[in-house]
Amino acid sequence: MPLGKRAAAEFIGTFWLIFGGCGSAVLSAAFPNLGIGFLGVALAFGLTVLTMAFAIGHISGCHLNPAVSVGLVVGKRFPASELWAYVLAQVAGGIAGAAVLYVIASGKAGFDVAGGFASNGYGAHSPGEYSLVACLVAEVVLTFMFLMIILGATDRRAPQGFAPIAIGLGLTLIHLIGIPVTNLSVNPARSTGPALFVGGWAVEQLWLFWLAPLLGAAIAGLVYPAVAGEPEPKSRK
């Protein structure tokens, strides 16, 4: 599959991740009397990855996340020469998803991005007012575990055909853990889109939500092969 088509698939998939996941947080999480809350938002993020894994996994691998692409490069599952195209497509998709969400959300009287617009933050801008160190550790560890799930579920020795389910549920679980801490990123593209519309503090704190996910993913890319070892060669018939 040509790189351009794979990058286009990554753009669409990341658009859906941000529009669906952040959209659930902005539009539905606290809707009067029928709000979906943290559980609903976590499930929405998981469902975006699950649906896109089935829709575009066979085209691009469905990374939807610069940290995932970096982890796969470190784990020798993805060529470093193609990393730039994936990251650009993912960030562009994240910005586009946030832009469409902004157009919809701003159609309601009283809407104000000062409410956060699902941006990630630490300190005073953490939902639970967690410290910078706590947020850094949470993002590194949760991204590490997410990549371990991805690397394990897509290992050819793993049960075949179930990877999208494991990955989607894994993303749901880490959102249930991390939303109160940072609004949960584990994905620089997811963080960048909303931050650009909020501006100010959200952009100033964006560095953490690039550094921590990339670091956690890179560590997983080193640890998984060390733990799992090399797959045995396919038997010849």
| pLDDT above 90 coverage of the chain, percent | 84
Cβ distance 106 to 198 under 8 Å? no
C-alpha 104/C-alpha 100 separation (Å) is 6
| All structural domains of the chain with their residue ranges | 3-228
In which band, very low, low, confident or very high, does the pLDDT at 34 lie, cut at 50, 70 and 90?
low
115-143 residue pLDDT tens: 789 999 999 999 999 999 999 999 999 99
Reference 174, options 124, 105, 220; nearest CA is 220
Unique residue bearing structure tokens 């584990």: 186
* Lowest mean per-residue pLDDT among 31-45, 67-81, 201-215: 31-45
The whole-model pTM stands at 0.92
Report the chain's mean pLDDT, rounded to a whole number.
93
Residue 237 has pLDDT above 60, yes or no: no
**Is 3-228 a domain of CATH 1.10.730.10?**
no
- The owner of tokens 């470190």 is 74
d(CA 200, CA 163): 38
Q: Which of 44-48, 81-85, 106-110 has the lowest mean pLDDT?
A: 106-110
Q: Are 53 and 65 in contact (CB under 8 A)?
A: no
